Amino acid sequence: MQRASWKLRTAAVLSAALLELPFPLAGPMPPWRSIFAWFGLVPLLWAILTPLNTTSPRALRRAFLLSYLTGFLWYCGNCYWIRDTMQHYGDMPPLAPTLLLIAFSLVLGLYFGLFGLFVALVHRASGSVRKALLAAPILWVAFEFLAAHLTSVPWDQLGYSQVDNGLLTHLAPWTGVYGISFVLVCVNGMFVAPALLHSRHPRVWLFGIAGLGLAATGILRAPFIPPMPEPTATAVLIQPNLDVGGDNFWTQPEVWKAHIDEFTRLAGEVCGPYIAGIPQTGAPEPQPLCAVKPKPDLVAWPESPAPFFESEPRFQQAIVSIAHSVDAPLMVGSIGMNVAPDQRSWLSYNSALVIGADGQRVGRYDKIHLVPFGEYVPFKNLLFFARKLTGRVSEFQRGTMRKVFRLGGHRYGIFICYEAVFASEVRQFPRLGAEVLVNLSDDGWYGDTSAPWQHLNIARMRAIENRRWLLRDTNNGVTAVIDPYGRVRQSIPRHQVGVLDAKFAFRDDITFYTAHGDVFAWLCAILSIGLAIWTLKANLKLSIQDKVRS
């Protein structure tokens, strides 16, 4: 019995390790590593459904704990950057960042644990491995969906691992990333089926063969090559590379002037060098043809620690001057200010200020989905001791309205930083008419961890789901242009001051996902609720029968 427990725990740990590999670890992920997502869950599914576990009187509890172990270890590895960020910028005691990562992983690992528990419940209620494996992808999507809405951390859902798979991402405009996760868990079930069903019948092995065929798309990557849309517009994406931990108040007039002069200079740079792909991947660096420098359709300044307070006259004057000098509209990451209802104080917002080419204010988008313990402290009265977790980041108010801005006859949708991970929210912008998406972000908090690369891949999926060009302007990288099929068409190196002469286009067609949202995920959630009710009733009946027999 002890040896069996050791085997099951080893399988759970192995799944956690395999599931780390199809996501960025400390740099851009080589696309070939996406193959691990196709069989990373196999050891865990085997541990849950093998007779070594199912014949045990504690099978359900063990299934939960094994899956919980996998989830806990996976979150510790995938989100290790939380510790690094809090250690550098959280103003916390030495051990506190590590404890925070452990607590974070213990909470979110529960979704894995519940997934394993309900797979085991389906098996116990039906007595069928096949039915348990058929239920697994439905349950997985349901718990991913729950994580996105209950704890609001849909980070690196399984489907993101296939962002470079041109065939499988064809599902995203219909099902969102959830459809891709569903297929991956299905294939994991196909691989494990022959080992669990203990049958030499050819039909059983067809499961594994079919799974191998589907997984091959993760290696080949090119059974379906998306079209290569041509850009028709130009944006100047400024990467200021400001130190998020430095002194960014610019109180001295000469310091302020030097930075604004730099902003003006960068805003006027058109037709500069770029990388034709993702940085640090060996992508080519073509020499641009600059005989005729086009007038930009947009100039963007990212979310950054610059002291750009909308209410300050010096900022207002600078923005108008820059707009006039480049004769182009501006989108500027800034601190929006509103007078509080009591008329005695100001409320601050993490905002994007939109200025027309004529220097007139077009509007402002205020970030709606704030980062807990980064941009605000939830339950402030209860968690009064947690205020230090915000470190050097101000406590912002939540925006209330998603807006689309018309500039030069076209409509732009802006979302800020962490909002990129919420597919159901980003889709609202093209649904409101946005013909291109703009993501202003500051990933400087994450250093050279996996987070900037994970964040980039998540943003790429938003472009795919909505079939929109996405202009991603960041403080220190990855600043990039993403086409409607998720390919990074242009970028510039990280950790340096630079400008990306971004070529993009406008689209006004609406995908099924844009129009209707998470229909597929809701369907899986409803089916999972039905499965939960059925399995709980069936297992209660079995428990009563066991007691009667004893």
Coil vs helix vs strand at 310: coil
Q: How far apart are CA 36 and CA 488, in angstroms?
A: 22
CATH topology of domain 233-242+250-286+294-514: Nitrilase/N-carbamoyl-D-aminoacid amidohydrolase (3.60.110)
Domain boundaries, the chain: 2-225+518-549, 233-242+250-286+294-514
Helix, strand, coil share of the chain (percent; to 5): 50, 15, 35
Cα dihedral: 304, 308, 311, 312 (round 10): 160
Q: How far apart are CA 506 and CA 409, in angstroms?
A: 11
Q: What is the pLDDT of residue 389?
A: 47
pLDDT tens for the chain, 550 residues: list them. Answer: 566 789 999 999 999 999 999 999 989 999 889 999 999 999 999 999 999 999 988 999 999 999 999 999 999 999 999 998 888 777 777 888 899 999 999 999 999 999 999 999 999 999 999 999 999 999 999 999 999 999 999 999 999 999 999 888 999 999 999 999 999 999 999 889 888 876 555 555 555 555 566 666 655 655 567 889 999 999 999 999 999 888 888 989 999 999 999 999 999 988 889 999 999 999 999 987 776 777 899 999 999 999 999 999 999 999 999 999 999 999 999 999 888 777 777 889 999 999 999 999 999 999 998 887 676 666 555 544 455 544 444 578 899 999 999 999 999 999 999 999 999 999 999 999 999 999 999 998 888 999 999 999 999 999 999 999 999 999 998 999 999 999 999 999 999 999 999 999 999 999 999 999 999 999 999 999 999 999 988 878 877 776 666 6
Phi then psi for 33, rounded to 5 degrees? -70, -10
Give whole-number Cα distances, 94 to 83, 246, 388, 506, 521, in Å.
10, 21, 13, 49, 40
Coil vs helix vs strand at 276: coil
If you count them, how many residues does the chain have? Answer: 550
Question: Per DSSP, what are the bridge partners of residue 330?
Answer: 299, 355
Q: What is the pLDDT of residue 466?
A: 98
Q: What is the pLDDT of residue 385?
A: 46
Give whole-number Cα distances, 141 to 79, 240, 303, in Å.
20, 39, 32
Q: How far apart are CA 509 and CA 466, in angstroms?
A: 9
In this structure, are strands 470-474 and 436-441 parallel, antiparallel, or unpaired? Answer: parallel
Q: How many CB atoms lie within 10 A of CB 245?
A: 13
Q: What is the pLDDT of residue 197?
A: 78
Q: How far apart are CA 308 and CA 355, in angstroms?
A: 14
pTM to 2 decimal places: 0.93
In this structure, are strands 410-416 and 404-407 parallel, antiparallel, or unpaired? Answer: antiparallel
Q: How far apart are CA 522 and CA 498, in angstroms?
A: 43
